[in-house]
Amino acid sequence: MRVLTVMSGVIISATGAWCLAYYRSAFSSIAFVLAIAMTLSGVFLIGAYLVSRKKSLPDTILIEGMLTLLFGFVTLNNEVTDTAMAMFFGAWLTTTGLIRFTQSLAVSRFDPKNWARILPLSILSSIFGFIMLMHSLISTLNQLTLVGSALILNGLSQLVYAMYMVRHDNLPQTELARERVEAKQAVAEAKRKERDELRRLTRSEREARKKELRDAAAALAENKKRLARIEKQKQKAAREALLEPTIQLTETQMAEIAGAMQQGDASLSDEASDEAATDLIKTQEVSLPQKTDEEPELQAVPETEAPVPVGPKTEEPVPIASAEPTSFAPEESVTQPEEEPEMSWESLIKEPAWQTPAFPHKPDITEILEREVKKPEPLPFTPLSLEELIAQEKEAPSRQADKKKEEEDQRFTEEFSWHWPPKTD
158 pLDDT above the threshold of 50: yes
pLDDT band at 159 (very low <50, low <70, confident <90, very high): very high
Question: pLDDT by residue (tens digit) across 391-416?
Answer: 777 777 777 778 888 887 776 665 55
DSSP string computed for 350-402: -S-GGGSTTS-----HHHHHHHHSPPPPPPP--PPPHHHHHHHHHHHHHHHHH
CA 411 to chain centre: 84
Q: How far apart are CA 69 and CA 77, in angstroms?
A: 13
Burial level of 14, CB count in 10 A (0-12/13-18/19+)? middle
Q: Contact, 68 vs 34, CB < 8 A?
A: no
Question: pLDDT by residue (tens digit) across 246-262?
Answer: 555 677 877 877 787 77
Number of C-beta neighbours around residue 118 at 10 A: 24
Which has the minimum average pLDDT: 245-249, 324-328, 387-391, 411-415?
324-328
What percentage of residues in the chain have a pLDDT greater than 70?
A: 64
Q: How far apart are CA 35 and CA 63, in angstroms?
A: 18
Q: How far apart are CA 105 and CA 58, in angstroms?
A: 10
**Cα dihedral 20, 22, 27, 28 sign:** negative
Burial level of 206, CB count in 10 A (0-12/13-18/19+)? middle
pLDDT, position 340: 60
Q: Contact, 115 vs 105, CB < 8 A?
A: yes
pLDDT, position 319: 46
Output the pTM of the full model. 0.42
28-51 mean pLDDT: 91
H-assigned helices in 77-202: 85-107, 119-132, 135-138, 143-164, 172-200
Which has the minimum average pLDDT: 110-124, 212-226, 266-280?
266-280
- Alpha-carbon Rg for the chain, nearest whole angstrom, is 61
Kindly report the backbone phi and psi dihedral angles of residue 298, in degrees, each rounded to the nearest multiple of 5, phi listed first: -90, 140
Q: Contact, 146 vs 131, CB < 8 A?
A: no
**Measured torsion, CA atoms of residues 38, 43, 46, 52, in degrees rounded to the nearest 10:** -120
Helix (H, G, I), strand (E, B) or coil at 60: helix
Q: Which residue has the higher pLDDT, 232 or 172?
A: 232
Q: How far apart are CA 347 and CA 166, in angstroms?
A: 107
**Measured torsion, CA atoms of residues 343, 349, 353, 357, in degrees rounded to the nearest 10:** -110
153 pLDDT above the threshold of 90: yes
312 pLDDT above the threshold of 60: no
